Amino acid sequence: MDNDDTITAIGTKPGEAAIGIVKVSGNKSIAIVDRIFRSKSRKKLSAIETYNMIYGHIVDKNSDIIDEVIVSVMKSPHSYTREDVVEINCHGGLVATEKVLELCVENGARIAEPGEFTKRAFLNGRIDLSQAEAVIDLVRSKTEQSLKIAAKNLQGNIKNEINKIRQEILDIIIQLEASVDFIEEDLEVTPYHELEKRVRVIEKELEDMIKNEKRGEIIKNGIKIAIIGKPNVGKSSLLNMLSRKDKAIVTSIPGTTRDAVEEILYVEGIPLILVDTAGIRETKNIIEKIGVEKSLRHIDEAELVIMVLDGNRKFDNKDLQIIKKVREKTIICCINKVDLEQNIEMGKVLDYFDEEKIVKISALKGIGIEKLENMIKELVLGDGEINLEEMIIINKRHKNILTEVKKLLENARKAMVEDMSEEFPCCDLREAYGLLGEIVGETVTDDILDGIFSQFCIGK
Ligand SMILES: Nc1nc2c(ncn2[C@@H]2O[C@H](COP(=O)(O)OP(=O)(O)OP(=O)(O)O)[C@@H](O)[C@H]2O)c(=O)[nH]1
Ligand SMILES: [Mg+2]
């Protein structure tokens, strides 16, 4: 990718729409569009003020009119990319918009790679890498909550925090180096135990951010909850009750659900992806067998499992077999059909589940559903409410970096505790400082950049 040439792309979704926007960015963008644009007053784009719009037509080399347009000009450095940016608002037909794009290319622009506009904004210093990533998150947001996080990160939430921490690390390094430099001069230096305390404070901040990554992931993508159990215990009835819909087929015939049925619920803006699965049992029926295999896969992928038992029947080996498959998971145990006579031996159930993870319900009558919902909420959101205003929500890439940084800080602190010479903690801290630069994009390889920007859509 050459960053000096002028790039172009369609910035809107292809297809019939009210408008289609062709974006052009780079030092030749105004000259290129001037060649294919005719305003009524014959005014040139180069003559119009930045952030103004002008009406006219796009014409081809035979001066045939291609489209009626409004063109806006945003001059460097006050534009998305910090370069001269021209946006051509076409009538949103597929062919007209494509044709305008083609004319831009014929006149010297190059088709942009996915994310290249935002990459330029980053390379030209308008935003840091965490803000560029926030642009992707913003575009992809599916819930109001995830939009909120992305918008805050775009404002520089992560950037500011990381830069603050980097500054603090740098300051500690300077203190340490000072004690090396002035070792002979008997100058007052900050003692190890004080610096160590400061490192500990940073570690704590990193810990909080690392913890929040998981929450961010849940807010963005929701969590998957698998409803499992042997046939006929009431799994589909429960899905229907929780989603207040008549989504899954319910019958008294064991083996009704063959294929997994999904339904998305929003709990405080967080998507819960509920999956009703086929009842797990040994079966010769080929369709049911595939369904059972699918159930097992869904259990694997689920962050939370709701295990349904039939309170009307005795706890048996089939229940036990299923419990054994989900031992590693976070589980809520529902004793269903409490409206009927209870034959299940609670003593046996308590052998496998903690009392606070068991809830008695009737998926038919709606008994205990609220309690179940609260249990789900608590397990999903963890301790307390999610207060987005005060949280810094990072992504996986950041988390991996912060985890490394935390190890380095621990090493540095250990070196101080063991009263090793200053070079040792200094070395770890310098590495930590450099690593943190990868989050904001100050120290970052082309591979990482390509990995990030290739996730963008074209024209962004
Ligand atoms: N009395 C009573 N009957 C229930 C309750 N929940 C489900 N049932 C009945 O139990 C039968 C089986 O319910 P389903 O929801 O289809 O059970 P399932 O676990 O999805 O069954 P499979 O899909 O075959 O694995 C149906 O006749 C339901 O009406 C309940 O809480 N009380
Ligand atoms: Mg079912």
Around ion ligand 2, which residues have CB less than 5 A away?
A: 235-236, 256-257
What's the CA gap between 121 and 80, in Å, rounded? 6
The answer to whether the CB of 261 is under 6 A from ligand 1 is: no
Quote the ligand 1 centre to 373 CA distance (angstroms): 19
Instruction: Please tell me the pTM assigned to this model.
Output: 0.78
How distant, in Å, are the alpha carbons of 261, 267, 303 from that of 274? 8, 12, 11
For the chain, what is the domain count? 3
For residues 144 and 120, membership in a common domain is answered with: no
For residues 144 and 248, membership in a common domain is answered with: no
Q: Identify the CATH number of the domain in which residue 337 sits.
A: 3.40.50.300
Residue 1: inside a domain: no
Cis peptide before 114 (omega within 30 of 0): no
Residue 11: inside a domain: yes
What's the CA gap between 371 and 32, in Å, rounded? 64
For residues 344 and 255, membership in a common domain is answered with: yes
From 98, 124, 150, give the residue that closes a domain: 124
Give the phi and the psi of residue 69 in degrees, each rounded to 5. -140, 165
The answer to whether the CB of 362 is under 6 A from ligand 1 is: yes
Residue 454: inside a domain: no
What's the CA gap between 283 and 288, in Å, rounded? 7
Q: Tell me which of 246, 249, 364 to substitute to probe ligand 1's pocket, judged by most ligand atoms within 8 Å of the beta carbon.
A: 364
For residues 81 and 183, membership in a common domain is answered with: no
From 91, 106, 124, give the residue that closes a domain: 124
For residues 322 and 231, membership in a common domain is answered with: yes
Nearest bound ligand to CA 250?
1
For residues 280 and 402, membership in a common domain is answered with: no
The answer to whether the CB of 311 is under 6 A from ligand 1 is: no
For residues 322 and 236, membership in a common domain is answered with: yes
Residue 455: inside a domain: no
Residue 428: inside a domain: yes
What's the CA gap between 355 and 353, in Å, rounded? 6
For residues 234 and 303, membership in a common domain is answered with: yes
Q: Identify the CATH number of the domain in which residue 424 sits.
A: 1.20.120.430
What's the CA gap between 387 and 300, in Å, rounded? 30
Quote the pLDDT of residue 384: 58
For residues 346 and 235, membership in a common domain is answered with: yes
Residue 296: inside a domain: yes
Task: Tell me the H-state helices in 22-156.
Answer: 29-36, 94-106, 116-123, 129-140, 144-154
3-state helix, strand, coil in the chain (%, to 5): 45, 15, 35
Quote the pLDDT of residue 383: 63
Q: Identify the CATH number of the domain in which residue 79 sits.
A: 3.30.1360.120
What's the CA gap between 152 and 392, in Å, rounded? 9
For residues 63 and 196, membership in a common domain is answered with: no
For residues 183 and 76, membership in a common domain is answered with: no
Which residues of the chain, if any, have pLDDT below 70?
1-2, 181-188, 383-387
Domain residues for the domain of 313 are 222-381
Quote the pLDDT of residue 377: 87
For residues 227 and 211, membership in a common domain is answered with: no
From 66, 89, 124, give the residue that closes a domain: 124
The answer to whether the CB of 359 is under 6 A from ligand 1 is: no
Quote the ligand 2 centre to 276 CA distance (angstroms): 7
User: Using an 8 Å Cβ cutoff, are 218 and 380 in contact?
Assistant: yes
Residue 2: inside a domain: no
Nearest bound ligand to CA 232?
1
Residue 18: inside a domain: yes
Quote the ligand 1 centre to 351 CA distance (angstroms): 25
* Paired sense of beta strands 304-310 and 330-336, if any: parallel
